[in-house]
Structure 1
């Protein structure tokens, strides 16, 4: 014979599982907070790298090919200045004076990198407000909105930085393999472009983690154990009405009716 569990046993099993169900939302909240912190850290590193990439003049450097294999001078070109490096360790830089005289690809790279830096700064502020470990806008639905907005802005900033460095890299590679250009006018990929690729990747990954950390959030109620039903008790015994009418009249009732017990003798 199979033993069928009674209702009381099922309730006891539910009460035993109640603490496990109560710990599940707390575990999910801790995991979501850890993902947010990781995403914000990666995005912040991407912001710092984007700023450094924008400022450094190492976007293009002299290609040491042909007669330029042994040279005492190297030329560096960036978004804002061009520099000359001597073998003695001396740097001489000059800022671009004319904006209209610059090539279009350089002007576009400038605009993209500046917008990327601005978006990363705004995204950083939104992410700080929307993270669960901060007290800004705590307990309001806008907190999650700020976190998602910060992640989306980080992704957009990473895309803009990626477009700028990819465009410049493609231009450098095409000019390098152009046989019509002399070797003295050819440049190689500078260190700033490599840093730009890394920074854009960090911003994209961090922004994606920030958005994913808020995906499973929703209004959830903690599990509450149902109270056990009270044991049914037998109702108190009440004699039937027929027996009540057959009782002998008491002295109190006889006196109230105007008769005494001696009158019946």
Structure 2
């Protein structure tokens, strides 16, 4: 699933391809925008807000409009030279095509596609928390929002874009591993919540500008994550088998030894999934 850094990178792709150009044609392949024609509009900017893309244009009548899209699990934008073959995805997944004299931008499997007056953008993204990669980033406010629901599981709270915008399942799992936190821990029991927020911002910022996401420092295939996507493989720190379970509507990967379940915690949610439950703390189970 595209996360904040991937969406940031995608916004830069559209920026390089379209900014300053005048649209020579537009083709919207979704019912709500089927009759929309942006021909003649000038592309002013391309930006991201968490996992949302915002492409701003000025029409020949001097209207300022924003094309909003969300990539969700499988959306993507690609930029092509005029006449270049569109090979990224099957044609039936195309939702919008924007053409200038220099480039063609194609949006595949986009979600929440909407065209609104730029002054009304907040109606679409105003609910989001501070953007981990945006100019509005405010670590103190993100920490406050996370801590406002102390009984919530920390893994679920990190994915809530109303708390801080940009974290997806990959960064959720990796962040909790790096902080040594059991994913089902209550927010109120997480030590140094501010430190976790600061690390989240550093992880996303480190991957900004490249497509390979790494939390380990290595860009080699198979070496880019500590726990995410590594079920049953040995932990890179302690050698224990990485575990995987459903948590809410997503799956969580964690190391039972480096992220031990706190003494006295309730394991109803884990037990309902069957299989072994995480181990208790051990002498070598601490993670920094």
TM range, smaller chain: under 0.3
Radius of gyration: which is bigger?
1
Give the helix-richer structure, 1 or 2: 1
Q: TM (normalized to structure 1)?
A: 0.23
Which of structures 1 and 2 has the larger relative contact order (alpha carbons within 8 angstroms, sep 6+)?
1
